[in-house]
Each structure stands twice: as C-alpha cells, then as structure tokens.
C-alpha cells in the first residue's frame, strides 16, 4: 500500500512501513512540511496514498482521500511502531475492503 505520513508523526514511521514493503513517504520528503491539510489531501488523492496522521481533521471522509488516524497520543517512535505493528494487518484489510477512514484508538 501507499502511505503519506503527516508531519505530526515521525519520519521513521515511513521508513518502518517501507521496510515492510509498502511505499511510504513523509510530508517532509515532498515539500509539504508546514503545509495545510488541503495540500496533504490533494497529494494523497493524486498519488493514491493513505494519510497516516494524529490529526482529527481527516476523520471525516474527503472525496478520493483515505486516512488512518492514530489515537495513541505522543509516544516515542519505538513505542508507536510497537503499538501499530500488531494492528497493521487488520487495518490494511479494512482499507482493502473499502474503508476510507480508519481510526485506531489506544
């Protein structure tokens, strides 16, 4: 799957997803650091990327945009990855079955 990691999450999350075989980039890699939600959503829709964020602004469906909201709060990157790892397969299945927005709560 293709992912776009929002600026409120660490770039290492993109590296971890890439190591698992996904196409994952951080907004900093595409010049969107500090950009508004509209620019992030536009790139997501254009490239077919799932936005991974902690931002509740993406909880409401936006035409052509898929989003994964992580409700873990502030956590070190290692803790974030350890929390997401056992949830990732089921989360990807939800997107594959057509969900546009998936919210994972701690």
- Band (106; pLDDT cuts 50, 70, 90): confident
In this predicted structure, what is the pLDDT of residue 73?
A: 86
For residue 89, what are its two tokens?
């397969």
Amino acid 20: pLDDT: 98
- Number of Cβ within a 10 Å radius of residue 60: 9
pLDDT value at position 61? 86
Which residues span the domain enclosing 58? Answer: 2-105
Q: What's the pLDDT tens digit per position in 4-32? A: 999 999 999 999 999 999 999 999 999 99
The 10s digit of each residue's pLDDT in 34-78 is 999 999 999 999 999 999 999 899 988 899 999 999 999 889 999
pLDDT at 85 over 90: yes
Q: Residue 15: CA atoms inside 13 Å, Cβ hemisphere, count?
A: 6
Q: What band does 33 get if pLDDT is binned at 50, 70 and 90?
A: very high
Structural domains of the chain, count? 1
If one counts every other C-beta atom within 10 angstroms of the C-beta of residue 17, the result is: 22
Whole-prediction pTM value?
0.95
């Amino acid at each position: 799957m293709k992912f776009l990691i929002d600026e409120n999450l660490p770039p290492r999350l993109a590296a971890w997803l890439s190591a698992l075989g996904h196409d994952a980039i951080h907004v900093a890699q595409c010049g969107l650091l500090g950009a508004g939600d509209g620019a992030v959503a536009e790139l997501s829709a254009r490239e077919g990327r799932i936005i991974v964020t902690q931002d509740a602004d993406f909880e409401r469906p936006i035409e052509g945009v898929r989003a994964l909201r992580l409700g873990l709060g502030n956590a070190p990157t290692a803790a974030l990855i350890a929390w997401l790892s056992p949830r990732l397969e089921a989360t990807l299945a939800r997107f594959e079955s057509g969900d546009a927005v998936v919210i994972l709560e701690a």
